[in-house]
């Protein structure tokens, strides 16, 4: 299985996400990461999808099917070398007196930010590549993880190129 990553610019209307993800379901692709949000223009949403595919032909087929959806305005396949990708993690840890110091040291080493602190729990926030985030979660397994939430991957192409000039909408 190969991992592929694409960004899809879609009309910002109800049901559009369903149309896009339905295409992955129909062609039996497993989505490993999905993020959706409005863009700088209200009319457009940006969907970033990472998915597993058998081979490049399967991926080509999926992309060709996606391109046919009337709600899809533009899409971009990402080459890891020519794009910036990151995701955000919120992780809630048990605030244990005996292990607190070690836990805070580990968090510090990863530049994790404490965004919530109570007697019973601490929430750390950390941004970075999926790899970095996985490493941090792995480190936290030495302590008591209460809850984990990741945003999924967002990506932009390096340089001045853009997926779609807003003025042409």
Partner 1 sequence: MQTLTGAQILVRTLIDQGVDIIFGYPGGTVIDIYDALYDVADRLWHVETTHEQHAAHAADGYARATGKTGVVLATSGPGATNLVTGIATAYLDSVPMVAITGNVAGSVIGTDAFQELDITGVTLPITKHNYFVRDIARLQDTVREAFALANSGRPGPVLVDIAKDVQEASYAYEPKEPIAPRPHRVPSHEVIEAAAAVINEAKRPFVYFGGGVIASGAGAEVAALADRIGAPMGCSLMGISGVPTDHPRFLGMQGMHGHYACSMAMDDSDCVIALGTRFNDRATGDRTKFRPSGKVVRIDIDSSELNKTLIDRVDVRSDVRVALSELLPLLKPNEHSEWAREIRGLRAREQGFADYRDGLCPKTIMEAIDAHREADMPLVTDVGQHQMWAAQYLSFSKPRTFISSGGLGTMGFGMGAAIGAALATGEHTILVTGDGCFAMDMAELVTAADHDIPLTVVLLNNGVLGMVRQWQSLFYGQRHSNTTLKRRIDYVAAAKAFGARARRIESVEELDAALDDAIGYDGPMLIECPIDKDEFVTPMLPTGGTMGDMVVNMDDINKRLGR
169 binds partner 1 (CB under 8 A): no
Rg (CA), the chain: 19
30-38/44-53 β-pairing: antiparallel
Stretch binding partner 1 (CB under 8 A), from 14-22, 32-40, 100-108, 145-153: 14-22
Give φ, ψ of 124 to 5 degrees. -100, 150
Identity of the residue, 21 or 121, whose beta carbon is nearer to partner 1 in the bound complex? 21
Q: Which listed range, 36-44, 55-63, 123-131, 133-141, lies at the site for partner 1 (CB under 8 A)? A: 55-63
Residue 42, interface with partner 1 (CB under 8 A)?
Answer: no
Closer CB to partner 1, 61 or 99, in the complex: 61
**CB-CB contact of 36 with 12 (8 Å):** no
Stretch of residues binding partner 1 (CB under 8 A), selected from 15-23, 40-48, 76-84, 126-134: 15-23
Q: State the helix-helix crossing angle for 56-67 and 16-26, rounded to 10 degrees.
A: 150
Residue 67 near partner 1 by CB under 8 A: yes
How many Å separate Cα 152 from the centre of its chain? 2
26 near partner 1, rule: CB under 8 A: yes
């Amino acid at each position: 299985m190969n991992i592929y990553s694409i960004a899809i610019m879609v009309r910002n209307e109800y049901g559009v996400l369903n149309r896009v993800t339905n295409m992955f379901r129909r062609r039996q692709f497993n989505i490993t990461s999905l993020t959706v949000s409005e863009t700088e223009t209200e009319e457009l949403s940006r969907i970033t999808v990472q998915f597993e595919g058998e081979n490049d032909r399967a991926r080509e087929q999926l992309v060709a099917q996606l391109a046919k959806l009337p709600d899809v305005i533009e899409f971009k396949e990402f080459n890891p070398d020519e794009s910036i990708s990151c995701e955000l993690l919120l992780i809630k840890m048990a605030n244990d007196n005996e292990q607190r110091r070690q836990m805070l040291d580990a968090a510090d080493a990863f530049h994790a930010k404490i965004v919530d602190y109570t007697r019973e729990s601490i929430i750390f926030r950390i941004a970075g590549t999926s790899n970095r985030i996985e490493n941090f979660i792995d480190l936290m397994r030495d302590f008591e993880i209460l809850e984990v939430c990741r945003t999924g991957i967002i990506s932009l192409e390096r340089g001045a190129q853009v997926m779609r000039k807003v003025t042409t909408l």
